[in-house]
């Protein structure tokens, strides 16, 4: 079987995988990181979103071998070792942005990338558009949008520019 080396949440791994092993299967089944979910088989729901080299991608639509040499971050890699939550996780909690929680890991990973890609401000409209690749079947989205808006100033260390609101 082919060898694969990659870094996941700061830790390097050298593992054997099949050609057909998906990145999400590697994470969940080989590395035991079951926070990343699988919600569909059509690449539409976003429950499987992780960061590969800093970019949000759907780990159900990438072969593990395509991540050779890459640095992967999953939901498990966000909180500090002492348990302090990432500001996005904290805001999801604060704003009650989840009900069953199934979509939440993917939502949080997409939301962090979205905030990082908008250093100059982020409107509600941009948040809603930016979540196109993530489906939630229970919260109704409003609180997710609120949580992301609230995380923006925390992540960028400044207030949202007036024009962007």
Partner 1 sequence: MYEFTYHKPTSIADAVKLLGADADAKALAGGQTFIPVLKQRLNKPSAVIDLAGLGLSGIRAEGNRVVIGAMTTHHAIATSPDIAKAIPGLTTMAGWIGDTQVRHRGTMGGSLANNDPTACYPAAVLALNATIRTDKRSIAADDYFQGMFTTALEPGELITEIEFPLPVEKSAYAKFRNPASRYAMVGVFVAKSSAGVRVAITGAAQNGVFRHKEMEEALGKSWSPDAVAKIKTSPEALNSDIHGSAEYRAHLITVMAKRAVAAAG
Ligand X SMILES: Cc1cc2nc3c(=O)[nH]c(=O)nc-3n(C[C@H](O)[C@H](O)[C@H](O)COP(=O)(O)OP(=O)(O)OC[C@H]3O[C@@H](n4cnc5c(N)ncnc54)[C@H](O)[C@@H]3O)c2cc1C
Residues binding partner 1 (CB under 8 A): 2, 18-20, 22, 41-44, 46, 49, 55-58, 60-63, 65-66, 68, 110, 113-114, 117, 130, 132-134
Cβ at position 20, least distance to partner 1 in Å: 4
- How many Å apart are CA 20 and CA 102, to the nearest integer? 25
Answer for which of 44, 71, 116, 123 binds ligand X (CB under 6 A) is 44
Q: Are strands 49-52 and 71-73 parallel, antiparallel or unpaired?
A: antiparallel
Between the alpha carbon of residue 65 and those of residues 7, 11, 140, the distances in Å are: 13, 17, 36
Q: CA quadruple 104, 106, 107, 111: dihedral positive or negative? A: positive
Answer for which of 5, 43, 66, 84 binds ligand X (CB under 6 A) is 43
**Which has the closest alpha carbon to 39: 18, 61, 14?**
61
The item of ligand FES, ligand X, partner 1, none sharing an interface with residue 138, based on CB under 5 to 8 Å by kind, is ligand FES
Nearer CB in complex with ligand FES: 56/65: 56
The item of partner 1, ligand X, ligand FES, none sharing an interface with residue 137, based on CB under 5 to 8 Å by kind, is ligand FES
């Amino acid at each position: 079987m082919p060898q694969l080396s990659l870094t996941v949440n700061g830790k390097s791994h050298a593992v054997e995988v099949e050609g057909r092993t998906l990145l999400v299967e590697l994470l969940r089944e080989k590395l035991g990181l079951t926070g990343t979910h699988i919600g569909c088989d059509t690449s539409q729901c976003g429950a499987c979103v992780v960061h590969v080299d800093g970019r949000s991608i759907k780990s159900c639509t990438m072969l593990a071998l395509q991540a050779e040499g890459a640095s992967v971050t999953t939901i498990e890699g966000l909180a500090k070792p002492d348990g302090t939550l990432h500001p996005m996780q904290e805001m999801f909690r604060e704003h009650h942005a989840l009900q069953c929680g199934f979509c939440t890991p993917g939502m949080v990973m997409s939301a962090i990338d979205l905030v990082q890609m908008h250093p100059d401000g982020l409107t509600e409209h941009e948040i809603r558009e930016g979540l196109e690749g993530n489906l939630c079947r229970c919260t109704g989205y409003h609180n997710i949008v609120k949580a992301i808006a609230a995380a923006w100033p925390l992540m960028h260390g400044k207030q949202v520019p007036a024009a962007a609101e």
